Amino acid sequence: MAAMSGDGEPIQSVLFVGLGNMGNPMARNLIAAGFEVTVVDLDPERVDVLVQAGATAAQSLTHAATTADVVLTSLPGPTQVEAVGGELLGALAPGSVWIDLSTNDLDCGRRMERAAGEAGVFLLDAPVTGGAEGAEAGTLNVLVGGDPDVHRRVIPILRAIGDRYDRLGPFGAGYVAKIASVSLCYLHSVCLTEALLLGVKGGVEPTRMLDVIQHSTGRSYVADRYGPEILNGGYDDTFALELAVKDLRLAVEMAGSLGADLAFTARVLDLYRSTVGTYGADAPHLIAMQAIERANDLVLHQHQVATPAGATND
C-alpha cells in the first residue's frame, strides 16, 4: 500500500541516494514507515544492507529516477550534490520532488534550484541535524527551505526521518541554518577541550572536570556526546576529519558571501585543516582536539590524576 502525501495523494516510489552513516538509517526509517524505497550508493555492500531491510536496489541512478515520485539525496557535499543532481534532473519526471538532505552551500544549491525549475522538478533543501543516533531513532531535526506547498506535500516523508521538520523560509534557508548550527559544534569542541585542559592542569581529574562542565552553565550536547570521546581517546570515529573541514570551509565561505565576519570560525577552520596532514583525512573528526592537547603537553586520555585519600563525590 502506498504512503500518502500531505495533500492526500499517494507517494508510490521513493528513491534514496547516499547510504552513509546518516543515509542508511534514514532510508531504513522510510521503509519502516511503509514507503516503497529504491536505493543507490557507490558501495554495493551498503545497498545490500538496505535490500535486506526491504529496499529495492536500483539498476542505475537514472533508471530509478524515471519512476520516482520523490528522491532524497544524502551526500558528502556540494561536489557530489551537483554531480548527482545533474543525472537526476535529466531523468526525473516533471512534477516530482527532490529533497536534498546534504550539507550544501548556497551557490551549488541555487544552481540546482534553477536547473530543477527548468526540468519542472520541485527542489527542497532539507539538511538534517541530530547525529547518527538521531538518524537511527528517527528524531532528526530536518531544516527545510523551499516552497510551502511542496513542503506540505512531503511531510509524511519528513516525519519518517525526523521529529522536527519545519520550513524555515525560502529555498536555501535550510542550508544556511545547517551550516550555522554545525559550525557551532566544532567551535564548542575547541572550547570544551580548552576548558578540560585548564581544569586538569590545575589538578582536577579529567572525568571529574568533564562532569563539572556537564552540570554547569557550560553544559552542551558537545560536552555530553564528545567529552567522553576526547577523554577515552576514541575521538568519535562516526564522522571523518575531512568532513569537518568541509563543513567549516562552507561556513567561512558562506560568511564571506553574506558579508559576515566570523573570525573565530576561521581560526577553528585553520586548526582543523592543519591536522589533516598529521592524522589523515579519514581520521576521527575530534582528533583535531589532540593538536590542542599536544600544544599543552597534556593528552587527556593519557592523563590521570590520583584522587586524594578521603575524597568523595559529595
pLDDT digits (tens, 9 = 90+) for 43-73: 999 999 999 999 999 999 999 999 999 999 9
Average pLDDT over residues 190-210: 97
All structural domains of the chain:
3-171 (3.40.50.720), 176-302 (1.10.1040.10)
| Residue 163, Cβ density class (10 Å: 0-12 exposed, 13-18 middle, ≥19 buried) | middle
| Residue 143, Cβ density class (10 Å: 0-12 exposed, 13-18 middle, ≥19 buried) | buried
Pairwise CA distance, residues 210 & 192, whole Å: 9
- With cut-offs at 50, 70 and 90, classify the pLDDT of residue 312: very low
**How far is C-alpha 89 from the chain's CA centre?**
24
Strands 140-142 and 128-129, by their bridges, are antiparallel
Element (DSSP H or E) covering residue 133? helix 131-137
The confidence score (pLDDT) of residue 119 equals: 97
Residues designated as active site: 178
Amino acid sitting at position 207:
T
pLDDT digits (tens, 9 = 90+) for 196-205: 999 999 999 9
Q: Work out the mean pLDDT of the chain and round it to a whole number.
A: 93
Is pTM beyond 0.85? Reply is yes
